[in-house]
């Protein structure tokens, strides 16, 4: 059965105390909205419709930056969840299948949970609702079930009787129904309630009044975590990190201090990789099997190949491609550069906008001077080349295969294969000058102190 997903992302989120729409606040380097879109993609949704409102232009742009095929619709007035879903009706008129309603501020609904909801739909339930047993039910809507375990109704806390408030099975807001049935039920929803809003939850009672069966699928309370404040945002990030650390360990990665390693929403780490303490992954990082990421390194937008070693205290910026068995050492920064198989950049160097050949060795203090103030230029270093310490390579420039540069050189012209390039001022020694200069300075300092 085809599946479409509607993601509600229209709320302002006043408790965030921010000019940024709530769903654009980040967890693990991605907006909350993107996490919800990942949930939709996990069940191969054929269509994703994002309902925007507050900050709609920015929210829509973020959704389409992640998935250009996402359909953006607007809820110009916030009149409740049923009204919000109704805004997606026109975008789904030609869709024949089930619709799942998710929320942009509830980022962690898992694939297995959504598939169990879809299975319940396949088994004949007209409307399927995701619920959880709440430790403190408080403001959550309650799921009222019948003797056979079917779902009778969802009652908002502010409209609930004392008996209903005693129920601990609570509503997450996530709902699944056939597209045609969903919008027919929404059309029948009224706003005769304490908030004068159109509640999506009312469709359960409307479906039961028609004689249709409804079901509740349950998951952990942590999975339904919503984000409404900065405190919630911090808790969500902590929950994400805990879950991903456990998954990474389960998948065969060694971490010496898991609690100090921070992953992005899209980090990929291969089996038998080793990650030492205090490593931070930004977006778009892939670390292949057997690689070693040493302590206090920061990686973003890069690819680390098998058996490579990065760090300690290394920074890989977007576009860094580290080859098999390559070495990137302490206080080295790589940006938009390819480091070839077995190449070494071991100490205190910056390599940007460059290609470094296989088995090349880059000495300490080397800099690729890639930026002229307006344009970026490329440095090419050949296979097995040896770049002497404290070399400045002024791009565009090429150092050939098996070539060398002398330490302290400023290289402004191409170096042919197998050649040795030395570019530095001739050294001049001035006999006795150092002692005379030092004595003069000491005398001046003594005279200054005597005058005080």
194 pLDDT above the threshold of 80: no
Rounded to 5 degrees, what angle do the CA atoms 394, 311, 396 make?
15
Q: Are residues 252 and 206 in the same domain?
A: no
* CATH code, domain carrying 291: 2.160.10.10
100-113 confidence digits (pLDDT tens): 999 999 999 999 99
Q: Are residues 270 and 386 in the same domain?
A: yes
Mean pLDDT (whole number) for 420-431:
92
Q: Report if residue 231 sits inside a domain.
A: no
* CATH code, domain carrying 143: 3.90.550.10
Which pLDDT belongs to residue 53? 93
353-406 confidence digits (pLDDT tens): 999 999 999 999 999 999 999 999 999 999 999 999 999 999 999 999 999 999
What is d(CA 18, CA 29) in angstroms, rounded to the nearest whole number?
A: 18
Q: Are residues 259 and 303 in the same domain?
A: yes
Q: Decide if 383 contacts 401 (C-beta within 8 A).
A: yes
49-91 confidence digits (pLDDT tens): 999 998 999 999 999 999 999 999 999 988 999 999 999 999 9
Domain finish residue from 191, 224, 257: 224
Nearest Cα residue to 42 out of 112, 92, 103, 129: 112
Q: Report if residue 229 sits inside a domain.
A: no
413 pLDDT above the threshold of 80: yes
Structure token digits, residue 32? 């909350």
138 pLDDT above the threshold of 90: no
For 354, residues 6+ apart whose C-beta sits below 8 A from its C-beta are: 336, 337, 338, 368, 370, 378, 379, 380, 381, 393, 395
Q: Report if residue 125 sits inside a domain.
A: yes
Q: Report if residue 385 sits inside a domain.
A: yes
Does residue 5 have a cis bond before it (omega within 30 degrees)?
no
In the chain, count of helices (H) and strands (E)? 9, 35
Largest CA distance in the chain: 106
Structure token digits, residue 98? 């089930």
Q: How confident is the model at residue 172 (pLDDT cuts 50, 70, 90)?
A: very high
Which pLDDT belongs to residue 149? 78
Q: Are residues 140 and 16 in the same domain?
A: yes
Q: How confident is the model at residue 278 (pLDDT cuts 50, 70, 90)?
A: very high
Q: Report if residue 239 sits inside a domain.
A: no
205-240 confidence digits (pLDDT tens): 999 999 999 999 999 999 999 999 999 999 999 999
Q: Are residues 24 and 143 in the same domain?
A: yes
Nearest Cα residue to 225 out of 27, 79, 84, 54: 27
Q: Are residues 253 and 220 in the same domain?
A: no
Average pLDDT, the chain: 95
Q: Report if residue 430 sits inside a domain.
A: no
Residue owning tokens 């709609």? 56
Q: How confident is the model at residue 308 (pLDDT cuts 50, 70, 90)?
A: very high
Catalytic residue (choose from 26, 268, 347, 377): 347
How many other β-carbons are positioned within 10 Å of the β-carbon of residue 439?
Answer: 10
233: left (phi > 0), else alpha (psi -120 to 50), else beta? alpha
**Residue 362: half-sphere exposure toward Cβ, Cα within 13 Å:** 37
What is d(CA 49, CA 366) in angstroms, rounded to the nearest whole number?
A: 50
Q: Are residues 89 and 129 in the same domain?
A: yes
- Considering the entire predicted model, what is its pTM? 0.89
Q: How confident is the model at residue 451 (pLDDT cuts 50, 70, 90)?
A: confident
43: left (phi > 0), else alpha (psi -120 to 50), else beta? alpha
Q: Report if residue 66 sits inside a domain.
A: yes
Is position 347 annotated as part of the catalytic site? yes
Our count of domains for the chain comes to 2
Q: Are residues 216 and 262 in the same domain?
A: no
What is d(CA 255, CA 278) in angstroms, rounded to the nearest whole number?
A: 10
What is d(CA 166, CA 142) in angstroms, rounded to the nearest whole number?
A: 9
Q: Report if residue 232 sits inside a domain.
A: no
Q: Are residues 181 and 255 in the same domain?
A: no
261 pLDDT above the threshold of 90: yes
Range of the domain at 296: 248-421
Q: Are residues 130 and 17 in the same domain?
A: yes
Q: Are residues 267 and 199 in the same domain?
A: no
Distance of CA 274 to the CA centre of its chain: 21
Q: Are residues 210 and 277 in the same domain?
A: no
């Amino acid at each position: 059965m085809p599946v479409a997903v509607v993601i509600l992302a229209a709320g302002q989120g006043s408790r965030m105390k921010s000019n940024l729409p709530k769903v654009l606040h980040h967890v693990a380097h991605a907006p909350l909205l993107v996490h919800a879109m990942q949930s939709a993609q996990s069940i191969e949704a054929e269509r994703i419709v994002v309902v925007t409102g507050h900050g709609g232009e920015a929210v829509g742009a973020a959704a389409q930056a992640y998935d250009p095929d996402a359909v953006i619709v607007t809820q110009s007035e916030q009149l409740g969840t049923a009204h919000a879903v109704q805004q997606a009706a026109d975008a789904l008129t030609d869709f024949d299948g089930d619709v799942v309603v998710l929320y942009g501020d509830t980022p962690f609904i898992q694939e297995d949970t959504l598939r169990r909801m879809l299975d319940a739909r396949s088994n004949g339930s007209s409307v399927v609702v995701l619920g959880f047993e709440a430790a403190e039910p408080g403001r959550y809507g309650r799921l009222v079930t019948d003797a056979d375990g079917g779902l009778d109704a969802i009652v908002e806390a502010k409209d609930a009787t004392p008996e209903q408030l005693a129920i601990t099975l609570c509503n997450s807001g996530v709902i699944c129904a056939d597209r045609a049935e969903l919008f027919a039920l929404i059309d029948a929803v009224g706003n005769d309630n304490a908030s004068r809003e159109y509640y999506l939850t009312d469709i359960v009672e409307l479906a039961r009044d028609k004689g249709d069966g409804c079901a509740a699928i349950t998951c952990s309370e942590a999975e339904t975590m919503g984000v409404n404040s900065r405190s919630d945002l911090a808790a969500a990030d902590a929950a994400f990190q805990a879950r991903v650390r456990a998954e990474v360990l389960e998948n065969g990665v060694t971490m010496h201090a898991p609690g100090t390693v921070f992953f992005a929403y899209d980090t990929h780490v291969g089996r038998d990789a080793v990650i030492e303490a205090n490593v931070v992954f930004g977006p778009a990082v892939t670390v292949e099997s057997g690689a070693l990421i040493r302590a206090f390194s920061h990686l973003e937008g890069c690819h680390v190949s098998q058996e490579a070693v990065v760090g300690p205290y290394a920074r890989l910026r977007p576009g860094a491609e580290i080859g098999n068995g390559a070495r990137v050492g302490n206080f080295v920064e790589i940006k938009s550069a390819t480091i070839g198989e077995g190449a070494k950049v071991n100490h205190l160097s910056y390599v940007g906008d460059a290609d470094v050949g296989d088995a090349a060795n880059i000495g300490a203090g080397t800099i690729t001077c890639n930026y002229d103030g307006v344009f970026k230029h490329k440095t090419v270093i050949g296979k097995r080349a040896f770049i002497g310490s404290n070399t400045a390579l002024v791009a565009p420039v090429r150092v050939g295969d098996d070539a060398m540069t002398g330490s302290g050189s400023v290289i402004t012209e191409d170096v042919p294969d197998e050649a040795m390039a030395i570019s530095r001022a001739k050294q001049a020694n001035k006999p006795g000058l150092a002692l005379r200069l030092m004595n003069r300075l000491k005398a001046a300092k003594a005279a200054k102190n005597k005058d005080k």
